[in-house]
Amino acid sequence: MVSLKAYKVWDGPTRWFHWINFVCVLGLAVLGTAILYSKELGVTNDGKVLLKTVHVWFGYVFVANLGWRVVWAFLGNRQARWSAILPFRSGYFTDLKAYAIGLIKGDGPSYLGHNPIARLMISLFLLLLIVQAVTGLVLAGTDIYYPPLGHWFAAWVAAPGVDPLSLVPYDKTGIDAASWDAMRAFRSPFVTIHYWTFYALLFLIVIHIIGVVVTELREGGGLISAMFTGRKVFDQKPIDEE
């Protein structure tokens, strides 16, 4: 008879981060796509401003949630901490090799937290999310003059004697043409990075979903349900159990 044992793995804040991040990324992806193809969709300037405004507010929640996760990686339980996420600990590459061989053979070791391949995936995820957050905050300022940099950009492009607070997105009234061109040149690389990071995230999300499903089918443990309950169930001792 197989003996199953449940282990508490993901704490509440980690699970909340995951699902809030999921909702934010989904909302941002839908809104970002609508903004990207606004001309083809026949969206007016006012409609585009509305789309960008909602996009930015989703972005604020996304950034706050991401910032909290970075902090929680210092405060959370063992599986939530940086030591359980980043692939830099001693012996990591030995573990990675052993896990990859086991995965190919179909008898890979079970992990309570992230397995060696998942560590690489999560680290890349966090890097891309941070890049998207930083570039998004810059673009929120250049496009619709929203915090934290919006007032600075508005002051940059405002014509002499014009109150930066009076500037209206997508309205050139009160704009100094030379300053506007300089600001748009400054903005350009942030747009490019934001654009390509978006597609990189979409690709990584697909790989993540495939990886979760494959791991669940081959190793069990309740990987998917654990992100709701916080618990994994194994019929053998996980390799990273203390």
* Number of structural domains found in the chain: 1
Measure the CA–CA gap between 185 and 33, rounded to whole angstroms: 23
Here the CATH number for the domain that contains residue 126 is 1.20.950.20
Q: Euclidean distance between the first and final Cα of the chain, in Å?
A: 25
Measure the CA–CA gap between 188 and 140, rounded to whole angstroms: 13
The β-bridge partners of 5 are 234
Q: Is 240 domain-assigned? A: no
Per-residue pLDDT reduced to its tens digit, 82-139: 988 998 878 888 888 888 888 777 777 778 888 888 899 999 999 999 999 999 999 9
Give phi and psi for 149, each to the nearest 5: -110, 0
Q: Is 15 domain-assigned? A: yes
Q: Is 239 domain-assigned? A: no
Range of the domain at 68: 5-234
Q: Is 241 domain-assigned? A: no
Per-residue pLDDT reduced to its tens digit, 134-190: 999 999 999 999 999 999 999 999 999 999 999 999 999 999 999 999 999 999 999
